[in-house]
Amino acid sequence: DHAKSSSHCKNGSPGIKRVLGWRAAVGAAWAVLLLPPCAAAFVVLSSADLCRPLRWVSDSFNDLYTSYTIFCILLMSVVILVISIFNVEFYTVAPSIPCSRLALIGKIIHPQQVIHSVVHAIMGMLVAWCAAVITKGRFQFLALPCTASESLDAVVSYVCLNEYHLFFLLFGAFVGYSYSLLYLVNNMNYLPFPVIQQYKYLRFRRSLPQLVKHSCVESLYLVRNFCIAYYFFGKCCDIILFLHKIHPLDNLAGLLDLSLFYHTWLCGVFLLIPWYIAWLLFKIYATEAYHFPVQPTFAEETDQCLPKILSSNPPLIIKFLALQDLMLLSQYSPVRRQEVFSLSQPGGHPHNWTAISRECLNLLSDLTQKLIIHQEAAATNGRIKQPSPGEINKSLNFPEEMAFQAHRSNVLPRTHMPSLVKSLSPLKTSTASDLGSSFGSPFTSPALNRKPGILDLNSPWHGSVQSPHIMRRGPKLWTSSSDLQTNGSYPSSFPMVSVARVGHEAEQPSFMYTWLQNKQEQIRSFLSKRVLVMYFFSKNPEASIQAVFSDAQMHIWALEGLSHLVAASFTEDQFGVVQTTLPAILNTLLTLQEVVDKHFKLPHVSSKPPRISGSLVDTSYKTLRFGLRASLRTAIYRITTTFGEHLNAVQVSTEHKKRLQQFLEFKE
């Protein structure tokens, strides 16, 4: 996902990319370095012998230095490197949340994910082989010479299958596959940025006990599941393969072996812990704050400066890091704030501030737009207005005009809601394409990626135009795969399909078109009554809301950075560069606040964050919208408490003025 978007990126910021590469490498190196201690612990625990503790200790120390063990550690280092490469390739800062069950299945069988699973299964098998070799005893070899007295006269020597070993190998593959599946389902590729800044070592130490506990518990569950699976599938395999086994394991007695259970569980733990460590270290290294210079010291550094990076369109991770750095500098560093407020040397323009504030405001108004579109869809309660074909043609001609207007419409005029919606529509249309490209989409096809027109269809611009065809949306049958593609971030899915068709029939819209529409509706209402279909297609409202806010961390930082800078400008801004943008900032914040408030009043929207269990898997993306609401309010209060009565002199619309007054009186 990241690789894809970075290849799209025209503006190369090689310096930062190199830094990111280094970080991933260092993370992987640490994971490899932590492998020998894990292996040592495994050796000690696997040869546990409580009756003779002294012998246990001496034996395990001897085992540590055997060539077997060392070879296994080397092999596992390779495994860790492969896992790290997958971590790097698959990470995302804005998780893609499947909105329906079908979308989830689509994700699972997506080729990328299949490769991920297969490789992880193979890696799991390799680790299990290492574990078997280190454990020694009856687990060590796959094939054993066995003497079976089939006929009484001759002792025939066979090569028999050691099913213990096979059991281990299959268990390894099973754990590897489960890991990959859980990685997908739990969105473990999501990089959550930490709530507070801490040193890497402390972050690692804080998570380590949790990691160990999580691995132990998960391994327990996996052993149970695997035993059940083995019991049922073992029978079938026997018949097919005609294997000679020494100790058949696919019966109940064979599986109820405490030692086997213990060693399998330990093998699972030994497999999971280094993988989770690699994953954790990658997360810690990748989300570490990066210090972007505000002003270039040398000319060639210009591309790596904060304002430049914010205004260009870098890979999402770099944008996140830049915004995080903006938040940190605005809060903690007076010296760097001074650089933001400074004027350019020849010319005396506040380029830094202009670039930073413009980018933050763009982000926030994009979010406002996205929310309005989402609300429109939700407010019509599943009804969407179908534009007449003439409108489509018209709308397809619009983008240039809109792009032209977009430059001037950063500041949204404030009116009450419906007219606000209208006034917003001439905003930048590029939002939609930004949105689409930022989310990894398995089924992306170039045809579907033509979004400006599609967005327009959905946009309130057309909602305001009277149109005869009103469509009942019901459960969105055709949309699931395309939902996946747009990540469900706005309900453009149905119109997308119809646009393609409608576009062809633009010439003879009358009869054929309505007939098709009717048929389509009939089929849909027929299908929507089938329970199974509903099961797969029904959208989870919570998930689609989460998807809208999946990259809200960016907006939270933009809000914090902007509000801290504005608050600091009260005393630190010598040239008054912030004052010129203050009305725009207030307008954007208040408009967004209104839209967000409205969003939380929608049906299906829970007003409280779900309980987060303190587990290893981070689910903070599920609660980002609450964070956004809180930090938005705090940001406005930060500005109003700093400026106080002076805000009355700022040019804002009367509606916003009223709102500001409420904030000044602490009544919001």
Interface with other proteins by CB under 8 A: which range of 10-18, 131-139, 325-333, 418-426? 325-333
Q: Interface with other proteins includes 667 (CB under 8 A)?
A: yes
Among 519, 612, 646, 648, binds other proteins (CB under 8 A): 612
Which of 332, 443, 535, 570 is close enough to bind other proteins by CB under 8 A?
A: 332
| Residues forming beta bridges with residue 92, ordered by sequence position | 190
SS3 464: coil
Least Å distance between CB 373 and other proteins? 24
Which one, 258 or 335, has the nearer CB to other proteins? 335
For other proteins, the binding residue among 351, 394, 633, 657 (CB under 8 A) is 633
Structure tokens at 13: 């910021």
Kindly state the DSSP code that residue 649 receives in the 8-state scheme. Answer: G
Among 185, 229, 236, 630, binds other proteins (CB under 8 A): 630
Task: Tell me which residue of 73, 71, 93 sits closest to 81, measured CA to CA.
Answer: 73
Find, among 34, 269, 255, 241, the residue nearest to 172 by Cα. 269
How near is the Cβ of 194 to other proteins at its closest, in Å? 7
Torsions phi, psi for 100 (to 5 deg): -140, 170
Contacts of 10-17 with C-beta under 8 Å, sequence gap 24+, read: 10/313, 11/303, 11/312, 11/313, 11/314, 12/303, 13/303, 13/304, 13/309, 13/312, 13/314, 13/318, 15/301, 15/303, 15/304, 16/290, 16/292, 16/304, 16/309, 16/314, 16/318, 16/321, 17/315, 17/318
> Residue 275 CB: number of other CB atoms within 10 A?
25
Q: Which is nearer to other proteins, 346 or 614 (CB)?
A: 614
What's the min distance (Å) between Cβ of 16 and other proteins?
20
Residue 402 vs 548, nearer CB to other proteins: 548
Q: Binding residues for other proteins, how many (CB under 8 A)? A: 37
Longest CA–CA separation in the chain, Å: 110
| CA nearest to 98, candidates 358, 568, 439, 417 | 439
- Binding positions for other proteins, 543-572, rule CB under 8 A: 560, 564
Contact window for other proteins (CB under 8 A) among 50-58, 139-147, 332-340, 392-400: 332-340
605 binds other proteins (CB under 8 A): no
Smallest gap from residue 356 Cβ to other proteins (A)? 18
Nearer to other proteins, 291 or 504 (CB): 291
What single DSSP character describes residue 245? B
- Of 617, 620, 653, 655, the one binding other proteins by CB under 8 A: 620
| Angle between the N-to-C axes of helices 14-33 and 316-332, in degrees from 0 to 180, rounded to the nearest 10 | 90
**Which one, 228 or 630, has the nearer CB to other proteins?**
630
Residues 495, 501, 503: CA angle, nearest 5 degrees: 90
Of the candidates 344, 211, 367, the one whose C-alpha atom is nearest the C-alpha of residue 281 is: 211
Distance of alpha carbon 586 from alpha carbon 640, whole angstroms: 10
**Options 217-225, 276-284, 587-595, 631-639: segment touching other proteins (CB under 8 A):** 631-639
Nearer CB in complex with other proteins: 298/666: 666
- Kindly indicate which of the ranges 107-115, 333-341, 499-507, 649-657 contains the residues binding other proteins, using the contact rule CB under 8 A: 333-341
Min separation Cβ 333 and other proteins, Å: 4
Tokens of 399: 């983008």
Tokens 């209402």, residue? Answer: 525
| Amino acid symbol at 81 | L
Count of all residues that appear for the chain in the document: 668
The stretch near other proteins (CB under 8 A) out of 41-49, 180-188, 329-337, 393-401 is: 329-337
* Residue 262: exposure state from Cβ atoms within 10 A (0-12, 13-18, ≥19): middle
> Least distance (Å) from other proteins to the CB of residue 639?
10
- Give the C-alpha distances (Å, rounded to integers) separating 63 from 47, 60, 130, 135, 154: 9, 5, 13, 9, 39
Whichever of 291 and 501 has its CB closer to other proteins, that residue is: 291
* Least spacing, CB of residue 50 vs other proteins, in Å: 16
Among 464, 623, 653, 655, contact with other proteins (rule: CB under 8 A): 623
Report the site for other proteins in 191-220 (rule: CB under 8 A): 194-199, 202, 206
Give least dist CB 626 to other proteins, A: 5
Residue 572 CB, nearest distance to other proteins (Å)? 13
Q: Does the footprint of other proteins cover residue 443 (CB under 8 A)?
A: no
- Read off the amino acid at residue 38: C
Q: Return the structure tokens found at 301.
A: 């550094």
Question: Is the distance from CB of 548 to CB of 604 less than 8 angstroms?
Answer: no
Task: Write down the least CB distance from residue 608 to other proteins, Å.
Answer: 7
- Measured from the CB atom, is 169 or 660 closer to other proteins? 660
Contact between 634 and other proteins by CB under 8 A: the answer reads yes
SS3 for 452?
A: helix
DSSP 620: G
Nearest approach in angstroms of CB 207 to other proteins is 10
Q: Shortest Cβ distance from residue 274 to other proteins (Å)?
A: 24
Instruction: Choose between 506 and 612: whose C-beta lies nearer to other proteins.
Output: 612
Closer CB to other proteins, residue 416 or residue 608?
608
**Span between the terminal Cα atoms of the chain, in Å:** 40
Binders of other proteins among residues 78 to 107 (CB under 8 A) are: none
Of the pair 154, 195, the CB lying nearest other proteins is at 195
Tell me the torsion sign for CA atoms 237, 242, 245, 247. positive
The residues in 419-438 that bind other proteins, with binding defined as CB under 8 A, are none
Q: Which stretch binds other proteins (CB under 8 A): 148-156, 373-381, 518-526, 607-615?
A: 607-615
Query: Rounded to the nearest whole angstrom, what is the least distance from the CB of residue 666 to other proteins in the complex?
Result: 5
Q: Does residue 186 interact with other proteins by CB under 8 A?
A: no
Q: Write out 499-546 in H/E/C secondary structure.
A: HHHHHHCCCCCCHHHHHHHHHHHHHHHHHHCCHHHHHHHCECHHHHHH
Exactly one of 253, 445, 611, 645 binds other proteins (CB under 8 A); that residue is 611
Q: Are 308 and 355 in contact (CB under 8 A)?
A: yes
Least gap, CB of 637 to other proteins (angstroms): 4
Q: Does 668 contact other proteins by CB under 8 A?
A: yes
CB of 583 to other proteins, least distance (A): 21
Contact between 334 and other proteins per CB under 8 A:
yes
Beta bridge partners of 156: 148
Distance CA 451, CA 455 (A): 6
CB of 34 to other proteins, least distance (A): 20
> Footprint of other proteins on this chain (CB under 8 A)?
194-199, 202, 206, 331-335, 560, 564, 608-609, 611-612, 614, 620, 623-624, 626-627, 629-631, 633-634, 637-638, 641, 665-668
